[in-house]
Amino acid sequence: DQQVKQNSPSLSVQEGRISILNCDYTNSMFDYFLWYKKYPAEGPTFLISISSIKDKNEDGRFTVFLNKSAKHLSLHIVPSQPGDSAVYFCAAPRFNKFYFGSGTKLNVKP
Amino acid sequence: NAGVMQNPRHLVRRRGQEARLRCSPMKGHSHVYWYRQLPEEGLKFMVYLQKENIIDESGMPKERFSAEFPKEGPSILRIQQVVRGDSAAYFCASSAQGALGGNTEAFFGQGTRLTVV
């Protein structure tokens, strides 16, 4: 039962352009969301979060948008840099665990 | 470095042996989670522990797998009689608060890559 979904397994973007990574969820009890970035052979690192009382949270080049009615969130990276190439996971903590999406592999081309 | 520490980073076991994975949470964190990532797949929840208690082990296989988080020392994920299908990356995460009601972040270790030959 996949309660957090990332339907795009991969995304390729030119350096300097915007990267938009999407995430959908099914459980309306989720009220906090996280994005993680993962390089190969490393653990996921926490990137940015958003509470359901907000619809936007910004941290430098990273902005997360939340649309509660659509049960959808997105991570925007502007401008994208080659070092942003990684797998990005969205997650929601609830019921004693963190529910993760399957990840989107971002490739930023120089 | 006060982050989540996992060891070993790489572990090779022959089929039938035992694998023991260790995780020391971040300082001040008493909530520990274990996740498994199979090749080309996402992160799958295995177990959630607090000190001396298993809170949720709904993601852990019923046989051969066990976990503990003793009063003193690291959390241990133990896999007995390993099989080739156990080959994966095992990640430990910790949080300051539990994930029961949201509004908390988990911080991950570097993972242990288990290879069963």
pLDDT values of chain B reduced to their tens digit, one per residue, 117 residues = 579 999 999 999 999 999 999 999 999 899 999 999 988 788 999 999 998 899 999 999 999 999 999 999 999 999 999 999 999 999 999 998 887 766 889 999 999 999 999
| Spatial distance between the Cα atoms of B23 and A105, rounded to a whole number of angstroms | 27
Cβ neighbours of A107 (radius 10 Å): 14
Distance from CA of B45 to the nearest CA of A (A): 7
Mean pLDDT of A81-108: 95
pLDDT of residue A1: 67
- Write down the pLDDT at residue A35: 98
Q: Would you call A100 and B43 a contact, using CB atoms and an 8 Å cutoff?
A: yes
Task: Look up residue A63 and give its two tokens.
Answer: 């902005």
The fraction of chain A above a pLDDT of 70, given in percent, is: 99
**CB A110, CB A45: distance < 8 Å:** no
Which chain A residue has the Cα nearest residue B90?
A43
Using CA of residue A49, residue B50, residue B57, residue B10, what is the dihedral sign? positive
- Would the CB atoms of B104 and A99 count as touching at under 8 Å? no
Mean pLDDT, residues A36-65 taken together: 96
Among B6, B98, B102, whose Cβ lies nearest the Cβ of A32? B102
Q: What are phi and psi of A80, to 5 degrees?
A: -75, 145
pLDDT tens profile A17-48:
999 999 999 999 999 999 999 999 899 999 99
Q: Which residue out of B105, B112, B113 would a mutagenesis test of the A interface target, given it has the greatest number of A Cβ atoms within 10 Å?
A: B105
C-alpha distances in angstroms, B4 versus A32, B7, B66?
22, 10, 20
Q: How deeply is B44 buried, as exposed, middle or buried, from its count of CB atoms within 10 A (0-12, 13-18, 19+)? A: middle
Our CA angle for B89, B57, B100, nearest 5°, is: 100
Q: What is the pLDDT of residue A73?
A: 97
Q: Do A93 and B56 touch (CB under 8 A)?
A: no
